[in-house]
Amino acid sequence: MSPPLAEQTGTWSFDLGAIIIRTKEVQLSSHPTHSHGRCIRRRITPIVDCDVLEAAKENIQPLASGRRVTALSAILTTPHAQRERRLASDRTRYRINVEVALQDEDDDPLEAYCRFVYWTVENYPQGHSAESGLLELLEEATRVLKDDRGGKWRDDFRYLKLWVLYATYVEKPAIVYKFLVVNDIGTSYSLLYEEFAVVLERAGRRTEADETYLLGIARKASPMDPNLPAPPPPAPAPSSIATTARRAVLGETATATTTPSSSRRVTRSSTRNALIGSTTTPSSSSTTAPRSNARLQVFIDPSGSSESNDPTDSPTPWPELGTRKSRIKENIKEVSKAAGTTLRQAGRAQRAAAAAAPKMVVYRDTGEEDDATETPPPPAPAAKKGIQKASAPKLTVFRDTEEDADAEAMPPPPLPAAKRGTQKASASKLTVFRDTDEDGDAEAMLPPPIPAPKKEKGIPSTPKFVPFRDEECGTPSTSSSVVPDTVMKLKAIGTTKEVTMSFQKGQLYPCAPATTRGESTKLSASKDKIVYTNGRSVIIRDLKNPAVVTAYAGHVQTATVARISPSGYYCASADITGTLRVWDTVGEDQTLKAEYKVISGRVNDLEWDGESKRIIAVGDGRDKFGHAFMMDSGSSTGEIIGHSKIISAVTIRHQRPFRAATASDDATIVFHQDHLTGVPFKYEKTIKTHTKFVQDVRYAPSGEQFASVGSDAKIFIYEGKTGETLGKSPIAHILEAFPDSKSLITSSADCTVKLWDVETKKAVTTWTLGSGVPHQQVGNVWTEGDDIVSLSMSGNLNIFDKRVGDKPARVLYGPQKSITASVPTSSGTFLAGTADGRILSFSDDTYSNVTGEGHASLVAGLAPAPDGKVFSIGFDDHLREIDGSASFVPAVCPTSSQPKALAVAGDSTVFIAELNGVEAIRSNQKVFELQAKFTPSAVAAAGSFVAVGGEVCHASHRGVYAELSIRSVFISSQDQKVHLYDWDGKTLKEVATLDGNKGVVSALAFSPDGSLLAAGDSSGRIVLFDVKERKVITSRWSFHSGRIHSLSWTADGQHCASGSLDTHVYVWSVQKPMRNIAIKNAGPGGVNAVFWLKDGQLASAGADGCVRLWNITFHE
C-alpha cells in the first residue's frame, strides 16, 4: 500500500499564559483499495508535552501569527548539545546563501535575508539575545539592502517588514519609522503609517499619530494585504464661495479664502517635512495668536536663519541610521590623531623654549581719515637678547598692502622680534597671504606699525614649517571609481631621504560574456575590438592584441548591451533598470558624458546612427518599449511604437535618409522612417514575415538591405529604404550579423555557424562546434579585420577564418561567473576557480579550461602541493586533484560536510576546514578527523603547524535554573580565535590559542618560513602573530572596511597582500606596520583572491570575473 497522505482539516490552540500556540489537526488517509475503492480515515493527534511548554512560557516571545506547537516542543525537548550543533550548521548555510545572493546580480538577496531572519525567529523562541543575534542580523539586512542594486528593495513589502520587525527590538522605534519616511522606504504601504502611528500613540503623542494617519491617506498608501482592494477616493466635499479656515494638515497653511480643493492638496515633501520637523521663523510665528494652552517654545532663532543641525534639513536627509555598536561607542576606546599638540623634534628644543611672547596680535583697523599716530597699536613684546635662536613661527594677521605705498607710511602689524641670519628664505617657510592692490593709495589704510627685526650675522633664520607626519598612523587614500597609477612618498622626520611606495596597473585578464539559454546575447565590434557585457562590467577586447583590454564598471546594476559609436570616441551601455550611460573610450579615465533613463525596464539592444549623434534603445518597459534620443542632450528624435511585447533588437540605416527597424517577441518587425530626412523616426509599417519570436535584425553597411532571423528557423531579407521583403531562407538559425553588403553569418542553437551569400541565398561555409547545451551558439559579430566571432553558451568566443571550414582558428576562454579562489602554480601560471564550478588555467595572454571532470558547483578553495599538484574543493563536497598538465585526476575524495577552505602541509597532507571539523586527507584517503568545539572558518599550514580559524564556539556550562529544570546549557558564541595545532603525521594536537581578531577569522596565511601568521577577519582587521612566541606583533593592519577574503605573502616574507569585500587591495609591511600601499577599487563587487606571481607582481581576482595584475614597488 502507498504511504499515507496528510490532509489539513482545521486548527485549534492552547492558551499558555500570554502565548497562543496553534497546532494542526491531521488526518491520515490511504489510497482507495482495489476492491472497494473506499478511503479509511483515522485521526492522529501529535504528541506534545505541554508541561514543558508551560514551564518555559515565560521565556518564549509571542508572535502575531502564533508559533507552531510541534516545532516549539521539538526545540525545547531536544538536548542542547545536539540542537546547538544543528543550529550552527543551519546558520552557516543561511549565511552562505546570503553572501552568494549578494554577489550574484541575478539572485534575490532580500529573499535570502528574509529566510535567514524567519529561521532565526523560529528557532530562537526567546527572541533577541546574544545567542540568536537577531538584532545584529536585522541591522545587517536593513543596512545592506538599503542601497543594494541602486535602492531596488526600498519599495518592496518584504523589506518594509524587516524594518518593522527591527523596530520592535530597538529602544526608540519612532526614530526608525521617521528614518523610513525621510528615505522613502515602504512609503507606498499602509503598514508603515499604521505601525508608526501605534508607536506614537503609545508614547502619548496622539496629535503626531493623527498626522501620521493623514500622511498615509494623503499618499494613498496601499493596504498591508495585497489581496485587499485599495480604498476608493474620497467624495469631493461641497464648496462655497467663502469657507471658514480648517485645521491645517501637517503644517499646511490654510486661510479663509482657500478653496477646499487647494486646501486638501498635500504634497509629498510638505507632509514629510511636517513629520520630521520644520524651522519656524519669527515672522511666520508672529502672525498667529498664541493659545493659552500652547506648549512653551524653548528657542527661536532671532536671526531668522533656517540653518539647522538637523540631518533632515540637508538635500539628502538622514542617509544612514546608527546601529547598536555606534550607540555604545562612548564605552569603546579608539585611537585618534593627535590634535593641538606639538611634537618635540631633534635639535629644536631651545627654539620651543624661547616662545615667551603672545602668539596672536589683535588686528586694529584704523579709518581712512584717522591718523596713525592718534591710535597707537599695542607694543609688541621684544625678544630676549640673551637667546640667540628665534621662536617657532607665529600666526601673522592678514594685511592688505599696496605696492605703491611707502614702507614707513604703512607699517605692518607688530610681531615678536625674530633674528635672521642668512637672507635666503626656506622653500617650506610659511608665508602670510597678502592681498595687494596696485591702484590703491598707500595712505588710505594704515595698519599698526611693526618693528623691524634686527639683523645679525651668524644667527639662524626662523624655523622652517615642517608638516606633521605620524609615523604610527596611515591614512587610506580617497576612493575613486577608476584605479589610478599611484605613487606615494613618505618623508621621515629629521632626514631628507624619501621612501617610495608605488603601484602601477598591469595586464587585465577579462571575463567572458554572460549568456542566457534561449536568449540572444548582443555583441558589437569596432575595428578589431569586440564589446560585450558581464555583470556590471563592460569589456572591450582587442582581438589582434589580447593584452589590450578595457573594463568599464560604472553601472550600478547588471549591464545588458554595449556598443561603440561609429566615430569610435564613445561607448553607450545600458542595464536592466533602463539606465543608459555614454562614456569616453579614449584614454583610461572613462569619463561619463551623459546618463539617461530611457525606459523603465531592461534594455535588450541599442544602436547608434551613422553620425554618432542619435541612439535608439529598446527593451522591456512599462510605458514604452523603446526610445530614440540625441546622444548629447537626451532630447527625443522620434517615437518607437507598433509593438505589443518586448523589443529584442533594433538596427539603424547609417546613410541618409535614416531608417530604423525593430524586432519583437510579438513576431513582428516595425519599420520606422521619415520621408524627407529620416528623422525624427516615425512609424511606417508592420512587417509580419515571421511566425515566432524575432531574435535579431541588422542593416548591411551599405544600407541597401537589412535582414532578420527568428525562432521559427527562417531568415528574411528586406529592401533597406522601403522595407519590402526580398526573399527568405528556411534555415534553423536564430542570430545574424552583416559583415559586409554581400554576405552574412548566422549562429544557431544547433551548434553551427554558417556563412551565407546574400545574392544566391545559399550557405557557403558551415562550422560545427560540437553538441550539447554548452556548444549552443547565442551571439556573433564580424569585425572590420575580417574576424568572424561566434559566442557559445559556455562563454567561449570562437574566432573563425572564412578560408578554413572545419574548426575555429582559435578560441578565447574566460570565466562567466565570479572568481571565488585562485592560486599560482609552479610553472609560472595560475589557476582560478569560479562560482559555477569551472577552473581555468591562465598563461601570459590567454586562458584555457582545466580538462577532465571537475566540480559541479562553486569552487571554495585551491591550494598548491609541494610536488607541483594543485588541490581543489567545492560545494559539491568533493576534493579533487589537478596535475601539472592542467587536467583533473580521475580519483576524487568526498568530504564529510560542506568544505570552506583547505591547505596543504609539507608532507602533502590536505587539511580541509568543514562545517563539522577539520579533515586530514592523504592520497585520497582520510587519515585523521578533528572534532573541534568550534566551527572552523579558515585553515593554513606550514611545516608541522596547522592554523584553524574559529567561527562559532560551543561551550557547555553547568547550572540550575528555577524556571527550566535543565542542568546543562549548550551555548554558542563567536569564537574569533586562531587555534594553532601541531601535526605529527597522524594527529593534530592543539598547542596554542591566538587572540586578537575582532570578528570571525575568514583568512589565514603563514609566511614562507613559517615564523609569522597573518589572520584576517570579517571586520576588516588583520592581526600579525609570531608563531614561535605565540604573541601579537601588530593588530594595526585595519584599513579594510569589509570581510578579508584572501592573504598572500611575498617570497621574502617582508610584505603581505590582502583582498577584501570592500573592493580594495592593500600591501602591508612587516618592518614598518603602518606603511602600506592601498589599491582602491581593485575589484568591483569585492576581491576574493590575491596572490604573488613573481617579484613585485601581484594578481587580484574577484566578483567581476576578471583578474588584474599590479606592478608593485616596495619601500626602500
For 638-741, strand residue ranges (E) read 647-652, 659-664, 669-673, 683-687, 694-699, 705-710, 715-719, 725-729, 735-737
Residue 133, pLDDT score: 85
For 759-897, strand residue ranges (E) read 762-768, 777-782, 788-792, 797-800, 810-812, 819-824, 830-834, 839-842, 847-849, 859-864, 870-874, 878-882, 893-894
173-182 vs 190-202: helix crossing angle, rounded to 10: 150
Query: Per residue in 1079-1114, is it b (16+ CB within 10 Å) or e — as a string?
Result: bbbbbbbbbbbbbbbeeeebbbbbbbbbbbebebeb
Average pLDDT over every residue of 130-156: 85
Q: How many CA atoms lie within 13 A of 296 on its CB side?
A: 1
Query: Cβ of 2: how many Cβ atoms within 10 Å?
Result: 6
User: In which residue are the cell numbers 570552506 written?
Assistant: 900
Of the candidates 759, 687, 690, 698, which has an alpha carbon nearest to the alpha carbon of residue 722? Answer: 687
pLDDT: which is higher, 69 or 978: 978
Peptide bond into 808 cis (omega under 30): no
pLDDT in tens, 503-524: 999 999 999 999 999 899 999 9
Rounded to the nearest 5°, which phi and psi values hold at 160? -65, -40
Residue 702 pLDDT greater than 60, yes or no: yes
Of the candidates 278, 223, 291, 224, which has an alpha carbon nearest to the alpha carbon of residue 252? Answer: 278
Residue type present at position 917: G
Q: How many residues does the chain have?
A: 1116
Residue 879 CA to residue 861 CA, distance in Å, equals 10
The region, left, alpha or beta by phi > 0 then psi within -120 to 50, assigned to residue 65 is alpha
Residue 883, pLDDT score: 92
Residue 467, pLDDT score: 41
Residue 547 CA to residue 645 CA, distance in Å, equals 41
Percent of the chain past pLDDT 90, that is, above it, reads 46
Are the C-beta atoms of 1050 and 1071 separated by less than 8 Å? no
pLDDT in tens, 533-562: 999 999 999 999 888 999 999 999 999 999
Q: How confident is the model at residue 502 (pLDDT cuts 50, 70, 90)?
A: confident
SS3 string, 183-206, reads CCCCCCEHHHHHHHHHHHHHCCCH
Residue 669 CA to residue 618 CA, distance in Å, equals 13
CA distances, 707 to each of 85, 99, 651, 670 (Å)? 63, 44, 10, 13
User: In which residue are the cell numbers 594685511 written?
Assistant: 399
Q: How confident is the model at residue 806 (pLDDT cuts 50, 70, 90)?
A: confident
Residue 613 CA to residue 678 CA, distance in Å, equals 14
Residue 314, pLDDT score: 46
Most confident of 271-275, 289-293, 468-472: 289-293
pLDDT: which is higher, 36 or 130: 130
User: In which residue are the cell numbers 622653500 written?
Assistant: 427
Residue 4, pLDDT score: 39
Residue 687, pLDDT score: 97
pLDDT in tens, 582-594: 999 998 889 999 9
pLDDT: which is higher, 1023 or 370: 1023
The CATH code belonging to domain 819-1113 is 2.130.10.10
Q: How confident is the model at residue 295 (pLDDT cuts 50, 70, 90)?
A: low
pLDDT in tens, 220-245: 888 755 555 555 555 554 444 444 44
Q: How confident is the model at residue 463 (pLDDT cuts 50, 70, 90)?
A: very low
Rounded to the nearest 5°, which phi and psi values hold at 987? -135, 165
Q: Report how far Cα 87 is from the mean position of its chain's Cα atoms.
A: 29
CATH 2.130.10.10: which residues of the chain?
513-812, 819-1113
Q: How confident is the model at residue 344 (pLDDT cuts 50, 70, 90)?
A: low
Q: Which CATH number fits domain 513-812: 3.40.50.300, 2.130.10.10, 3.30.930.10, 3.90.245.10?
A: 2.130.10.10
Residue 890, pLDDT score: 92
Average pLDDT over every residue of 343-350: 49
**DSSP category for residue 453:** P
| The three three-digit cell numbers of residue 1065, written as one number | 587591495
pLDDT: which is higher, 455 or 130: 130
Report the relative pairing of strands 67-68 and 870-874 from DSSP bridges: unpaired
Residue 361, pLDDT score: 55
Q: How confident is the model at residue 971 (pLDDT cuts 50, 70, 90)?
A: very low
pLDDT: which is higher, 323 or 7: 323
Are the C-beta atoms of 513 and 817 separated by less than 8 Å? no
Residue 1044 CA to residue 225 CA, distance in Å, equals 42
Residue 246, pLDDT score: 46
Q: How confident is the model at residue 13 (pLDDT cuts 50, 70, 90)?
A: very low
pLDDT in tens, 1098-1110: 999 999 999 999 9
Percent of the chain past pLDDT 70, that is, above it, reads 66
pLDDT: which is higher, 390 or 1047: 1047
Of the candidates 253, 260, 259, which has an alpha carbon nearest to the alpha carbon of residue 278? Answer: 253
Residue 252, pLDDT score: 43
| The three three-digit cell numbers of residue 955, written as one number | 561551550
Residue 277, pLDDT score: 44
The region, left, alpha or beta by phi > 0 then psi within -120 to 50, assigned to residue 151 is left
Are the C-beta atoms of 590 and 551 separated by less than 8 Å? no
pLDDT: which is higher, 570 or 1115: 570
Q: How confident is the model at residue 338 (pLDDT cuts 50, 70, 90)?
A: very low
Residue 672 pLDDT greater than 50, yes or no: yes
Of the candidates 531, 631, 529, which has an alpha carbon nearest to the alpha carbon of residue 580? Answer: 631
Residue 406, pLDDT score: 43
H runs (alpha helix) in 264-420: 268-276, 282-285, 324-327, 349-353
Residue 742, pLDDT score: 86
Give me the residues paired with residue 526 across strands: 529
Residue 617 CA to residue 630 CA, distance in Å, equals 11
Residue 853, pLDDT score: 92
Query: Per residue in 880-895, is it b (16+ CB within 10 Å) or e — as a string?
Result: bbbeeebbbeeeebeb
Residue 135, pLDDT score: 85
Of the candidates 571, 570, 624, which has an alpha carbon nearest to the alpha carbon of residue 597? Answer: 624
Q: How confident is the model at residue 383 (pLDDT cuts 50, 70, 90)?
A: very low
Are the C-beta atoms of 625 and 603 separated by less than 8 Å? no
pLDDT in tens, 478-501: 344 444 454 444 443 334 344 456
pLDDT: which is higher, 1045 or 382: 1045
Helices and strands of the chain, counted as H and E runs: 14, 61
Radius of gyration of the chain (CA): 37
Average pLDDT over every residue of 1046-1075: 95
pLDDT in tens, 180-227: 988 889 888 999 999 999 999 988 999 999 999 999 898 888 875 555
User: In which residue are the cell numbers 551623459 written?
Assistant: 594
Residue 150, pLDDT score: 81
pLDDT in tens, 992-1022: 999 999 999 999 999 999 999 999 999 999 9
Average pLDDT over every residue of 274-284: 41
* Burial (0-12, 13-18, 19+ Cβ within 10 Å), 202: exposed
Residue 130, pLDDT score: 75
Residue 9, pLDDT score: 36
Query: Cβ of 762: how many Cβ atoms within 10 Å?
Result: 11
Residue 756 CA to residue 709 CA, distance in Å, equals 13
Residue 793 CA to residue 108 CA, distance in Å, equals 23
Average pLDDT over every residue of 712-727: 92
Average pLDDT over every residue of 248-254: 42
Q: How confident is the model at residue 85 (pLDDT cuts 50, 70, 90)?
A: confident
| The three three-digit cell numbers of residue 454, written as one number | 634686527
Average pLDDT over every residue of 129-144: 85
Q: Among 53-67, 251-265, 336-350, 522-536, whose mean pLDDT is lowest?
A: 251-265
**DSSP category for residue 535:** T
Q: How confident is the model at residue 148 (pLDDT cuts 50, 70, 90)?
A: confident
Residue 82, pLDDT score: 76
Mean pLDDT, rounded, of the chain: 76
Average pLDDT over every residue of 1052-1065: 96
| The three three-digit cell numbers of residue 427, written as one number | 622653500
Report the relative pairing of strands 67-68 and 19-29 from DSSP bridges: parallel
Are the C-beta atoms of 375 and 359 separated by less than 8 Å? no
DSSP string over 32-78: PPTTT-PPPEEEEPPP--HHHHHHHGGG----TT-EEHHHHHHHHHS
Are the C-beta atoms of 820 and 860 separated by less than 8 Å? yes
Of the candidates 1103, 1004, 952, which has an alpha carbon nearest to the alpha carbon of residue 93? Answer: 952
Peptide bond into 566 cis (omega under 30): no
Are the C-beta atoms of 514 and 528 separated by less than 8 Å? no
Residue type present at position 14: F
